[in-house]
């Protein structure tokens, strides 16, 4: 099972390995709605600081497409990263906490 995490918006989608394109599409739609909601209230989503992280088992992560897919958030195109910082905690793709403990 895959989980796709978009930092800054705190959006999470999950599914099977065959659902990768649907997960990306749903996350992009969510990002678009968040941007529209912000704009309607004269706010701006900080798309530059938004990060995208796939997480799951090592075996499933190796089944992802080579680039892991991208989504558009505002004017930026997000490509997946392997580690994100959320509330001061370093979260890696396998949820091992290696980056957080070693840092």
What is residue 3's predicted lDDT score, i.e. its pLDDT?
55
The whole-number pLDDT of residue 8 equals 57
The residues, ordered by sequence, that sit 6+ positions from 63 with a Cβ below 8 Å of its Cβ are 17
pTM (predicted TM-score): 0.73
> How confident is the model over 39-55, as pLDDT tens digits?
899 988 777 777 888 88
CA nearest neighbour of 65 among 73, 76, 54: 54
Q: What is the mean pLDDT of each run of 10 residues along the chain (103 residues)?
A: 55 80 87 86 81 84 79 82 85 81 75
Model pLDDT, residue 89: 86
Task: Quote the longest CA-to-CA distance of the chain.
Answer: 43
CA 19 from centroid of its chain's CA atoms: 15
């Amino acid at each position: 099972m895959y989980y796709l995490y978009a930092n800054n918006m705190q959006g999470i989608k999950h599914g099977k390995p065959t659902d990768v394109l649907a997960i990306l599409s749903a996350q992009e739609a969510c990002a678009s709605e968040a941007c529209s909601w912000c704009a309607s209230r004269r706010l701006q989503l900080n798309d530059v600081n938004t990060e995208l992280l796939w997480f799951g088992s090592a075996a499933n992560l190796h089944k992802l497409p080579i680039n892991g897919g991208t989504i558009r958030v505002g004017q930026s195109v997000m490509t997946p990263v392997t580690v994100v910082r959320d509330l001061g905690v370093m979260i890696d793709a396998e949820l091992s906490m290696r980056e957080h403990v070693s840092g």
